[in-house]
Amino acid sequence: MTQDDTKTLDTQPDLGRRKFLNTTALVGLSGAGLAVGLSACKQEGAGAPGAASAPAAAGASTHLKPGELDTYYGLWSGGHTGDFRVLGLPSGRELHRVPCFVPDALTGWGITNESKKIMGTRPDGSLKYTVGDTHHTHASYKDGNYDGRYAWINDKINSRIARIRLDYFICDKITELPNVQGFHGIFPDKRDPVDPAINYTTRVFCGSEFHVPLPNDGRDLDAPEKYRSMFSCVDAETMDVRWQVLIDGNCDLAATSYDGKLAATNQYNTENGARYENMMSAERDACLFFNVARIEAAVKAGKTRTYGNSKVPVVDGTRAANADPKTALVAYVSVPKNPHGVNASPDGKYFICAGKLSPTATVIELSKMLDWFDGKLDSPDKAIVAEVEIGLGPLHTAFDGRGNAYTTLFLDSQVVKWNVEAAIKFHAGDNKAQYVVDRLDVQYQPGHINASQSETMFADGKWLAVGCKFSKDRYLPVGPLHAENEQLVDISGDKMVMVADHPVRPEPHDFIIFKRDLIRTKQIYSMDEFPLAVKDAKDVGVFRDGKKVTVKIISQAPAFDPREFRVKLGDEVTLILTNHDKVEDLTHGFAIPNYNVNFIVNPQETASVTFKADKPGVFWCYCTHFCHALHLEMRSRMIVEA
């Protein structure tokens, strides 16, 4: 800031609508002293012009002609629906929802035996959890780009991580993290740091937002100063938890370096407060860097402990235990208060950590971070190469591959475009360095942001998606619960151009956007993937073992085989259905009235359900998924004999 920057943000001439939004937000938080902290930010000077550009008249078209395919996939979190969404971009069309953490009535997820095994059940066979809160989704890497193998998504409520196979777009594994509450940040490594020859994802890193007593078994209930958080590492293939790191403070998001050497999480509540006013009393919090190779070596050497019933090895990553850089597993870099987001630049040089309760973004140079671990710097804070003002309420950052960063400003209801190298020059004393390039008003109060290929070394600077937490007057009113507003921005030119609004059911969080040719989907299953597959029509029928009955059925449009089957009242029935059709897009459903059974089988897929035949009578089992001109006639009778 220059010496002439004496006006407060409240007197900026260009605030307009944002003045009202900011004032409202600040009044709500003023009891905790937040307004005082933010009002200390002066009007931006030479390095950071404050005016937003007027919306441009035109941008790249998001309209696709009939039959035209999108050029990008978007992988979206589903929020409280607990699922994983697949979009086509730039159209914004929702193509698919992959159920993972909660039951899904369309597919039978949570009804079939196969899905219940993945989701986790109680001893009585009921689902362990039926709610979820998906936040962040990321995909696996090879050579610094997405490889189309897997994506992962987290459930914040129940500390679960789900893996999505991107060949079939299905969830195939779910792991519950021990010693963790409020599982929030997630990011896969981009290469294996232990073996440089392995240049693809082998780990997924997971943060824990809520600090708790460890073990959380009733001890230290009223001693928040003793609460701790964990940073976890999950094996990308087995989905087992490899190790955890005990840390001070609460995790927010996670990021990884392109060389595989460092993982990071930004932190708030380093005060270890239990109430919000205590969580923001300190002027600075931290961004933590994890030396992955050292942690793995410590685990291998047995320098670990466990907590409670968990067998996962835990290393000590607390600040007190990691003061010596030459042996440290974790580095604590000081950043402004309550940061919300950490992101790796596509050139592999920097991590950007945004301030949230500070109007600043912090640029941390990774080579300097490694220098600290090698004992070449006397403080990890010296890895900070820029800390510049960009606006009120900075949260998350995306990149265009041309040296520019795009950060959401929650309180300003803006996206700010700023140049990283110019910010570094300004921080070094060059007051003429114009680091803010552009500003764009969004509607309203944006949270997450991502750009096409932004999280890779191949960021292409075409499209930017912004998730706005409020839509207010953007759509037709539908009662008290408003849709959220996701906006698409053309960033191919010097100025950002808003090109589309999309209403979305609350509350998605994070998303990634990548070129469509990075995924090769399979349109038809291989029957060999299913151990229970009924491969031959001669194998269908009813097979009894006392009161346990197995019914094997095949579907081939427009009929089920057998056309009817009989069981007895009180039988435990396991029904196995295999779809024998080999035609793309020929899915069959199977529903049994009054028995809470409905699921689908895609071409060549097998699924099973188990239930008790507790009601006598005739029950027409019918195909629920349109498949044939005789779809309405596609039925089988279940006859339950009294």
Contact (Cβ atoms closer than 8 angstroms) between residue 162 and residue 239: no
Phi-psi group of 125: left, alpha or beta (phi > 0 → left; psi -120 to 50 → alpha; rest → beta): left
360-365: strand order across its sheet: 342-344, 350-354, 360-365, 384-389
Delimiting residues of CATH 2.60.40.420 domain(s) in the chain? 527-641
pLDDT digits (tens, 9 = 90+) for 530-588: 999 999 999 999 999 999 999 999 999 999 999 999 999 999 999 999 999 999 999 99
The CATH fold of domain 178-389: Methylamine Dehydrogenase; Chain H (2.130.10)
Q: What are the CA-CA distances from residue 310 to residues 161, 163, 431 (Å)?
A: 17, 22, 54
- Quote the pLDDT of residue 276: 86
- Quote the pLDDT of residue 272: 83
> CATH number for the 527-641 domain, one of 3.60.15.10, 2.60.40.420, 3.40.640.10, 3.30.1120.80?
2.60.40.420
Delimiting residues of CATH 2.130.10.10 domain(s) in the chain? 54-176+398-522, 178-389
- Quote the pLDDT of residue 354: 93
- Quote the pLDDT of residue 51: 57
Distance CA 51, CA 346 (A): 27
Which residue ranges in the chain fall short of pLDDT 50? 1-46, 56
- Quote the pLDDT of residue 403: 97
463-468: strand order across its sheet: 446-451, 463-468, 484-490, 497-504
The DSSP bridge pattern shows strands 83-89 and 72-77 to be antiparallel
Q: What are the CA-CA distances from residue 143 to residues 88, 166, 260, 456, 458 (Å)?
A: 24, 18, 11, 9, 10
404-409: strand order across its sheet: 394-399, 404-409, 414-419, 436-441
The size of the chain, in residues, is 642
- Quote the pLDDT of residue 30: 39
Question: Domain 54-176+398-522, CATH 3.40.50.1370 — does that match?
Answer: no
Distance CA 299, CA 244 (A): 9
Task: Please list the residues that pair with 88 across neighbouring strands.
Answer: 73, 93
- Which tokens belong to 16? 């307009």
Peptide bond preceding 529: is omega within 30 degrees of 0, i.e. cis? no
Residue 115 parent element (H or E): helix 113-119
pTM above 0.75, yes or no: yes
3-state secondary structure 469-515: CCCCCCCCCCCCCCCEEEEEEECCCCCCEEEEEEEECCCCCCEEEEE
